[in-house]
Each structure stands twice: as C-alpha cells, then as structure tokens.
C-alpha cells in the first residue's frame, strides 16, 4: 500500500468502528498561544481529553498535518521530518486498552500487511513510589496477539533508554520502560501538578534487520534505541490516572489517545528504513534529481532537507503563513532558505520552488482539497521568498568564505551581519560555519541577540525622533 492508500484505509476502518472522522486542524493553532505549530494529533483535542464534551461524540479519528520546528536540524537522517501526518483515533470515555490495542494490531497486520514477526512494543514499567502499577494489562493483551500470530512474546524490563543501550532487549518482543512510557503534560509522575491527568502508553516499533545497529547510540539495540534498527510507528496513550494530594487515583472517565506517523507506517509497508522513499516524498526527490542532474544516493542529506522543508513550507503557505522575521513566518523563512541553500549546493541556481511546489501540491490534492484551491497563491508566496534570498545568497556565502580565510573566530556580530545584510537566518549561518570548520565564539547566540536588541533600540529611537519632529 502507498501512503495515500494507508491514510484512506485507516480512516475507513475508523469509520467502520464507529468513529467520526474530523477535519485536520490548521498548522497554526487557533486557541493555543503557548506553541507556534500543531505538533501532534492530540494537541487540537486536548481540552476534550481533559473533560470537555466534543460535539462529534466519543469516538473520533483524523489524519492531522503536523510541524515540529525543533526537528529542523535533525532532518537529513532516514526518518526525521519537520512536516508529517499523524493518523489518530481517540476514545473519550468509551473504549480502552482491550479494544485499542487489538484495533491497532488489526490495522497494521491485516490491512497494511506488516509482518507480525517484525513488530515490537513497549509498555510502562510502573512507579512503585507513587503507587502506580506496572502495565501488565497492556503487556498481556500484546502477548495474546503475538501468540495468536505465532510469534514470540518474551518480556524484558529495561526501565531507561540508557540501561537498554547497555544490555539490549535480548530479542524480547515486549519491553518495559519507565518515563519513556508515561504520558502527562508535565513529564513523569513526580513532576505532575495535583489535578493533572496522566497515564501509561504503549509504543509500537517496526524492526529492520537489514540495518546494522549504530553503536554510537549504545552497545546493543532495543526498542527505544536510536541505533537505526527499530522505528516507532505508533503510540497509544491511556489516560488512566489523576494526581491527587495523596498520590494517584484512577480517573472516572478513561480516555485513549492514539497517534501513528503516516510516513513511518508507509515506510514499514514497503520495508524501507528510509521514509524518503515513500510515495509522498519520493516524487519530490525524483524532481530534485531531475533539476540538479545528480543522484539521491550520492547527495542524500541535501535532497532529504530540500524535500522535507519544501513540503512543510507548502503546507504553512496553504494555512496562511507568509515568510517573515517573527514566529511562524520566521520558521517558514528558515525552512525555505535552508532548502534553497542545499539546492544551491547541488547546482540548482534558480526557480527551485516554481518547480517543486506543483509536485507537492499534486501529491496532496485528493486528501486535502485546500492544497489545490490555494496552489497558485502558494507558488506566488514561495517564489517571492526565493527571489529575495537568491539575490543575496551568493554574496553571503562569499562573506562566510572570507571569514574563513581570515582565520578569525566567528562572532555573533558576524552572524548578525549575515542576517541583516544577506538575509541568512542565524541558525543557517551557524550551521554553515560549522560545516566549513570555522571556529565560533562560545557565546555567539548571546552576541547575536545583543546586536538584535541594539538594532531594535536604534529603530525605536528613530521612530520617537520622527514623531517629535512631526
């Protein structure tokens, strides 16, 4: 199944199981000033998970577009993307573990067709100090499902990622972790404020035996290792407890919050540890190969960055964001300009976005009609940003090259000049300096911020003088 078929099949299954499919929320949250972007399927539904009644009922499902700007610099490996879709289903006081876990298993094995022998899971190891038991209920449900499928169901208690790195999962299908498998808005049980809900979660991973474990991430592989063999493809959160003055008590209404990355499930379905080879990303990569005249295998990081960042920028534009130097607009500018920088490195000197935006739009036209409706506006917004940056890109790169030749340490003041004069987002300048092996002052960020404040003060003083003159 390709990614579009997986999304459609998931939403069809949820409808058959009594869920109402709700529209995606915009990437820019409407009623949440605490965050710039919608970063999970749960985020727009939090008030309902905390007790409010949802007008569509107790069983909900969707495919939510998400953007996590904190992952920008992680993009380039085989699984991180800033933009992604999260398949989600929720039970607001209706079903719980005994229905949710078999439902997700059915979807993965019977509909998507994943190999049961390569599915591994995690569950909560418990918190004796706070009186929260080990989640053997979830482990028992998984054991029954694995056994019926004719695969092993061994268990191992790892507690932490660090301990897992030292001992590995020893082939165990079900691994117990502590804080890795606890959800709340405030971290682990000990940091939760009184009155807040929380609960155990159960993650699902797909195993790629063709990938060699990277020992830079620990001696041995296990489910929560970043060593490359295990890819998380879904997580079911069971909101089961509320913190009280005395400890923890079970909630009167138990909720389920499931989220699974569409791109990662699609990668598992084609047995690829590289998410960029799925049907929603590979056509973008192929277009970049055509434009640059070079191949993906020899330019993997650059092409992944371009494909991811342009896709994210397109959806930001669809949702009304325009490039700027503030908040969501700044992140959008950073995505676009970082993509252009990598394209420049590949020899694509002009009209990158003009060529790539239609490819992205065509991939999502059926699932999200608003992409097709706003296509021309998106092209116009992103073309304008590319033209603006292209005018100064070469000059900025020459300035960085000059700094390198001087042998001097790069300061925050230097980075401010690159930002102010050449339009380089400071993070891009710092990344470029590191790539070129240029030494940087330890406090370059504080130095840069100081220059920004000084510029702001000059601007305010100028405004006051102008007003006085009037």
Residue 389, C-beta contacts closer than 8 angstroms, at least 6 positions apart: 336, 337, 340, 423
Question: How far, in whole angstroms, is CA 470 from its chain's centroid?
Answer: 50
Dist CA 317 CA 332 (whole Å) = 9
Residue 280, C-beta contacts closer than 8 angstroms, at least 6 positions apart: 3, 4, 262, 263, 266, 311, 363, 364
> How many C-beta atoms surround the C-beta of residue 417 within 10 A?
17
Per-residue confidence in pLDDT tens, the chain, 470 aa: 999 999 999 999 999 999 999 999 999 998 788 889 999 988 899 888 888 899 999 999 999 999 998 888 889 899 999 999 999 999 999 999 999 999 999 999 999 999 999 999 999 999 998 889 999 999 999 999 999 999 999 999 999 999 999 999 999 999 999 989 999 888 888 888 888 889 999 999 999 999 999 999 999 999 999 999 999 999 999 999 989 998 899 888 999 999 999 999 999 999 999 999 999 999 999 999 999 999 999 999 999 999 999 999 999 999 999 999 889 999 999 999 999 989 988 999 888 999 999 999 999 999 999 999 999 999 999 999 999 888 887 888 888 888 878 878 888 888 888 888 877 778 778 888 888 888 888 888 888 888 878 876 765 654 444 445 44
Buried b (16+ CB within 10 A) or exposed e, 292-323: beeebeebbebbbbbbbbbbbbbbbbbbebeb
Residue 445, C-beta contacts closer than 8 angstroms, at least 6 positions apart: 412, 426
Cβ 158 vs Cβ 151: under 8 Å: no
Residue where the block lists tokens 């449900």: 141
Residue 161, C-beta contacts closer than 8 angstroms, at least 6 positions apart: 177, 180, 218, 224, 225
Distances 352 to 291, 377, 387, 396 between C-alpha atoms, Å: 8, 16, 10, 19
Residue where the block lists tokens 């911020």: 449
């Amino acid at each position: 199944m390709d990614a579009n078929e997986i999304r459609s099949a998931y939403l069809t299954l949820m409808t058959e199981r009594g869920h109402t499919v709700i529209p995606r929320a915009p990437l820019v949250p409407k009623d949440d000033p605490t965050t710039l972007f919608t970063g999970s399927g749960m985020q727009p539904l939090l008030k309902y998970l905390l007790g409010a009644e949802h007008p569509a009922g107790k069983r909900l499902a969707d495919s939510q577009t998400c953007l996590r700007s904190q992952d920008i610099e992680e993009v380039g490996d085989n699984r991180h993307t800033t933009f992604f879709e999260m398949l989600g289903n929720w039970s607001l006081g209706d079903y719980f573990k005994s229905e949710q876990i078999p439902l997700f298993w059915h979807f993965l094995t019977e509909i998507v067709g994943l190999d049961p022998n390569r599915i591994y899971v995690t569950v909560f190891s418990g918190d004796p100090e706070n009186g929260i038991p080990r989640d053997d209920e979830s482990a028992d449900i998984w054991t029954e499902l694995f056994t019926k499928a004719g695969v092993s169901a061994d268990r191992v208690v790892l507690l932490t990622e660090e301990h897992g790195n030292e001992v590995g999962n020893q082939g165990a299908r079900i691994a117990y972790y502590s804080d890795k498998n606890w959800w709340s808005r405030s971290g682990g049980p000990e940091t939760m404020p009184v009155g807040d809900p929380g609960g155990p979660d159960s993650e699902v991973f797909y195993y790629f035996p063709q990938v060699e474990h990277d020992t830079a991430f620990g001696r041995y592989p296990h489910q929560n290792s970043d060593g490359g063999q295990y890819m998380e493809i879904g997580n079911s959160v069971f909101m089961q407890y509320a913190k009280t003055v005395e400890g923890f008590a079970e909630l009167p209404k138990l909720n389920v919050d499931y989220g699974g990355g569409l791109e990662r499930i699609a990668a598992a379905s084609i047995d690829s540890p590289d998410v960029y080879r799925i049907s929603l990303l590979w056509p973008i990569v192929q277009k970049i190969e055509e434009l640059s005249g070079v191949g993906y295998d020899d330019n993997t990081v650059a092409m992944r960055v371009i494909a991811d960042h342009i896709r994210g920028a397109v959806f930001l534009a669809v949702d009304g964001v325009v490039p700027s130097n503030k908040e969501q607009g700044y992140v959008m500018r950073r995505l676009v300009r970082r993509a252009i920088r990598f394209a420049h490195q590949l020899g694509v000197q002009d009209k990158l976005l003009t060529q790539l935006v239609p490819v992205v739009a065509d991939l999502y036209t059926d699932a999200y009609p608003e992409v097709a409706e706003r296509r021309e506006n998106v092209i116009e917004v992103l073309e304008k940003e590319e033209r603006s940056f292209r005018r100064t890109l070469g000059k900025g790169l020459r300035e960085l090259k000059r700094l390198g030749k001087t042998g001097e340490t790069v300061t925050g003041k230097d980075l401010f000049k690159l930002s102010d004069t050449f339009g380089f987002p400071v993070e891009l300048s710092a990344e470029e300096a590191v790539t070129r092996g240029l030494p940087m002052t330890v406090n370059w960020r504080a130095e840069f911020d100081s220059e920004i404040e000084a510029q702001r003060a000059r601007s305010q003083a100028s405004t006051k003088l102008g007003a006085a003159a009037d």
